[in-house]
A and B are shown apart, each in its own frame.
Chain A
Amino acid sequence: MKGFDVAVIGSGPSGIQAAIHSSRKKASTVLLGKPSGSAMSGTHVENYFGIPGKADGDGLLRTGIAQAVSFGAVHIPESVTSLSVTPEGFRAVLEGGGEVTARAVILATGVSRVKLGIPGEKEFFGKGVSYCAVCDCSFYKGLKVAVIGGEAEAASSAEMMTRYASEVFWVSDDIRAADYAVGKAEAAGVRIIRLKPVSIGGGERVDSLNLSDGSSLRVDGVFIELGARSAAELAMDVDLMPEVDDTIAVDGSCATTVPGVFACGDITGRPWQVARAVGQGAQAGLSAADYAKGTAQ
């Protein structure tokens, strides 16, 4: 376990800019997260100051991370699966099994735009479809469930569900979670099905999940856990209450109501734009560095 002054959770433009400003202020900084999970990945930016034409999003992310690293930041391209408060600050558990500690933490995880959007999802919400394994696990004791999603949150949810359900299927044709997380789920008895879910079936309640090869799984519940652990959940981990729309409220210095926790970028509200994300990122990086070094006014 390694200790830092500042841990930035999220490797999109906001988190990267935060890491640049924090490390330039001589705070030891770790930047966590996969740039491929950024809203900017796979897109072009056309309206950013000083960059003519269409700028390649992935290229900007790569260059930004290299800049942060050149100023001394350490980049770990893994998702954070949980966050907790320690006497010295905060501890982030990583999907690869490691941990980092830091005196200050910056939440910059963006907003999730991934939607499953398959037939049956809306109709069976609350009738076997759930978006929160932690909330609803105990209602599936001795039953069969499927967990959908390719990232760390699906891996840990599937693993946890083995403690309740009689059989747990993890369904995804695009598993991106770290090998460690996948191995842990498999060791717990999760059956991995590398197919696309196409629809959820049932009558009064869910009774099946239909797959891209035409086969069908008999299940009582379907847990939809797309992406990595969200900012709202990470915030709750450290007793920070998100707004009802899942945004994190910050003041002008990007501080939240929990001392040592800062937030920036899309998760703090609209407009969802790179210019706003990096502006707030710079502020959050400076504020967190000041806080960590005990120089906050």
Chain B
Amino acid sequence: MVTELSEATFQKFIDDNQLALIDCWAPWCGPCRRMAPILEQVAKAMEGKAGVAKMNTDDNPDLSMKLGINAIPALLIYKNGVPQPPLIGLRAKEEIISHLNALL
């Protein structure tokens, strides 16, 4: 399951998941819409290994600015609360999964 995060729940999700993947997206962004079903598959494949969530940049502009997001879709990755280099742009399911597995 892919949880939708807000400014209020963002930090708790990172704290609760040793490995966290957060897809920053917006409704008008075509590649973001294409990422949505891929993210569902990633969440399923990584169940028990990584937490997968998304955050609407349009609804959370302050948080997006704080995070320095300026291109979406952006996949933010946190390991034990520490930010890892993000994956920017549309990615294949296999690429995201192998990237996450390498961080386990």
Tell whether A126 pairs with B70 under 8 Å between CB atoms, given A236-B33, A244-B34, A244-B38.
yes
CB pair A135–B30 under 8 Å, yes or no, is: yes
- Please name all residues of chain B whose beta carbon is closer than 8 Å to the beta carbon of A242 when the two chains form the complex: 34
Please count the residue pairs between chain A and chain B whose beta carbons lie under 8 angstroms apart in the complex.
63
A101 to chain B, nearest CB (A): 23
**How many angstroms between the C-alpha atoms of A126 and B75 in the bound complex?**
11
Check A15 for interface membership: any CB of B closer than 8 A. Answer: no
* B window 26-79: CB within 8 A of A: 26, 28-34, 37-38, 57-58, 61, 64, 69-74
Inside 8 A of A245's CB, which chain B residues have their CB? 92
CB distance from B76 to the nearest CB of A (A): 11
Q: A180 to B30: give the CA distance in the assembly, Å.
A: 26
Does chain B have a CB within 8 A of A275?
A: no
Complex contact A138–B26 (CB within 8 A): yes
Q: How far is the CB of B34 from chain A (nearest CB, A)?
A: 6
Asked if A71 is an interface residue, CB under 8 A from chain B, the answer is no
Q: Are B30 and A132 in contact (CB under 8 A)?
A: yes
Does A132 lie within 8 Å of B58, measured CB to CB? no
A92-131 Cβ-contact flags toward B at 8 Å (1 or 0): 0000000000000000000000000000000001111111
Which residues of chain B have C-beta atoms less than 8 A from A131's C-beta?
89
Which partner residue on chain A sits nearest B65 by CB separation? A139
Given contacts A132-B31, A135-B29, A241-B34, contact A221 B88 (CB under 8 A): no
Chain A contacts for B70, CB-based, 8 A: 126-128, 130, 136, 139-140, 205, 221
Given known A-B contacts A126-B70, A242-B34, A134 and B28 have beta carbons under 8 A apart: yes
Most A C-beta atoms less than 10 A away, residue of B31, B74, B92? B31
Q: For A129, what are the chain B residues with a Cβ–Cβ distance below 8 Å?
A: 71
Interface residues of B (CB under 8 A from A): 26, 28-34, 37-38, 57-58, 61, 64, 69-74, 86, 88-93
A residues contacting B by CB (< 8 A) are: 125-132, 134-136, 138-140, 205, 221, 232-233, 236, 241-242, 244-245
